Amino acid sequence: MNRFLSEYWWIFLMRGIFAVLIGLLALFLPGITFTTFVIFLGAFLFVSGVFDVITAVNSRKTMDSWSWYLVSGILGIAIGLLTLYNAFATALAFLYLVSFWLVVAGVFEIVIAIRMRREIKGEGWYIVGGLLTVLFGIMIMVNPVAGAITLTIILGVYALIFGILLISLSVRLKKRASHHLPNSGMAP
């Protein structure tokens, strides 16, 4: 496996460059990046739905659960088309879903921290984290446009850091590959 990774160092380099580009786009053009993400999501859901329907139709005689593929496919096609037809509505629904999840997750974090009071020290920090999570969720609900930009920037920072790490890994893998003789797997 190590030799395989060393020989294909360039795959990590390409992934890293792509991640850095996505990160830079997200940081400098967050509105366009978010909209593009929503459109790509719609296209993915549509294509995935088509393949699920094809799988369902082709496996209906050999698989008992083929109908789940059919339902999943129809939903994917419908949501994909809705997204492509009205990306704004899908983006808004996505943001409200994320904000609802953040509020619920934050409340759970607070409850868990309170229940763990007797078992750990410093549970106050976990409570603060829960409160910040709830606050972030409420902020997205109140101002979804700012929430979209904020989420895009956060993902942009992640993509930029991850891309740099992948590029660094590719350089190390290339150096490792150049130290090995072809077909021997041993250092010269």
Q: d(Cα 76, Cα 45) in Å, to the nearest integer?
A: 5
pLDDT in tens, 9-66: 889 899 999 999 999 999 999 999 999 989 998 999 999 999 999 988 998 888 888 8
pLDDT of residue 180: 63
Q: d(Cα 18, Cα 88) in Å, to the nearest integer?
A: 26
- What ranges do the domains of the chain cover? 12-178
pLDDT in tens, 88-127: 898 999 899 999 999 999 999 999 888 888 777 878 888 9
pTM for the predicted model, two decimal places: 0.68
Q: Which residues contact 183 (CB under 8 A, 6 or more apart)?
A: none
Q: What are phi and psi of 107, to 5 degrees?
A: -65, -45
